[in-house]
Amino acid sequence: MLLILAFVAVFMLWSWWTWPRIGHWLYDLSMALEARLYQVRKVPVAVAEMTLMTYQGGPPKAPATLLMLHGYSADKTIWLRFARHFVGDYRVIIPDLAGHGETGFRPRGSYDIPSQAQRLIQLLDACAVEKAHVIGNSMGGYIAAWLAATYPERVASVALIDPAGVASPLPSDMERLLAQGNNPFLIHSRADFDQFYAMTMASPPWVPGAVLAAVAERYERRRNELAEIFDDFHGSEPLESRLADIQAPALLLWGRKDRLIHVSSAQVWAQGIAQLRVELWDDIGHMPMVERPALTARLYREFLEGQV
């Protein structure tokens, strides 16, 4: 009996120790396979301060370039299942923003929105892209809108998916937590991660438990880094006074079940941007391009075809 109990204890300890490690391997392998399947490749691009790791794909002489910007704490992989719908016709560039993914973090690395935007102009220069159609989610939407307002000659159109950057008329679940001194992105335990993950999407795609364990571990390991990035980007100048400067054709997509940034923010964007098409989707949360990649791609392609 004691031998059986000892075996069970050893097995449980082994499972606890290896479970996230298996998840890291599965996650990295699946992303590599998806990138290969969807015909994008990793391309490091040197800019003034650092090297941005990117996914790139599509015909070199495509009629237009799409620049896809992920949100805070995410990375370039969130665009893969969306980007697959465009690499046949467009050049696609998807960077890991500074402090994220394979671009990596460095202390006091200037993660404010103007600095992030300036790096992306340098990225376009390095890739010999004069003008891009920019699409961004969350913090990436904040940067995309800043680019459109500040560098209009470099932005052919801008698409904003549940973007940060303006004050929300109604508070989201995240804003209520922040008001209590609790940033849900700063993970201390698996329970914290589960609460946070539930806030990110209303209907997330299926992910193996081992992979979720690995992602939770990565968040916990990056807690101090994410805190610095958050302080920089969250403390950036709000966009309300700059929205009228956005003259490029613009699309705004918002999931009504977004718990991170309240959907009432859409009215602020709509009042500020002259050429703005607004789409609000039921039963979708903060990341429509992950929750419904094909449907989101269909909407974006329709928008693009009106500009190209």
Span 232-276, pLDDT tens digits: 999 999 999 999 999 999 999 999 999 999 999 999 999 999 989
Residue of 226, 234, 268, 254 lying closest to 137 (CA atoms): 254
DSSP of 252-297:
EEEETT-SSS-TTHHHHHHHH-SSEEEEEETT--S-HHHHSHHHHH
In a domain, 231, yes or no: yes
In a domain, 3, yes or no: no
Instruction: Tell me the pLDDT band of 225, cut-offs 50, 70 and 90.
Output: very high
Q: What is the mean pLDDT of the chain?
A: 92
In a domain, 116, yes or no: yes
In a domain, 149, yes or no: yes
For residue 307, the model assigns a pLDDT of 72
- Residue 67's identity, in one-letter code, is L
In a domain, 7, yes or no: no
d(CA 84, CA 88): 8
The two tokens of residue 128 are 């010999």
Give the domain extent around 236.
42-305
Q: What is the percentage of the chain residues whose pLDDT exceeds 90?
A: 83
Span 85-138, pLDDT tens digits: 999 999 999 999 999 999 989 999 899 999 999 999 999 999 999 999 999 999
Q: Which residues contact 237 (CB under 8 A, 6 or more apart)?
A: 113, 114
In a domain, 285, yes or no: yes
d(CA 137, CA 286): 8
294-304 average pLDDT score:
97
Residue 171's domain is classified under what CATH number? 3.40.50.1820
For residue 207, the model assigns a pLDDT of 87
d(CA 159, CA 191): 34
In a domain, 33, yes or no: no
Span 5-61, pLDDT tens digits: 334 333 333 334 445 667 777 788 888 889 899 999 999 999 998 999 999 999 988
The two tokens of residue 96 are 């890991």
In a domain, 31, yes or no: no
Structural element, H or E, at residue 237: none
Count of domains forming the chain? 1
Span 153-199, pLDDT tens digits: 999 999 999 999 999 999 999 999 999 999 999 999 999 999 999 99
Q: What is the percentage of the chain residues whose pLDDT exceeds 70?
A: 93
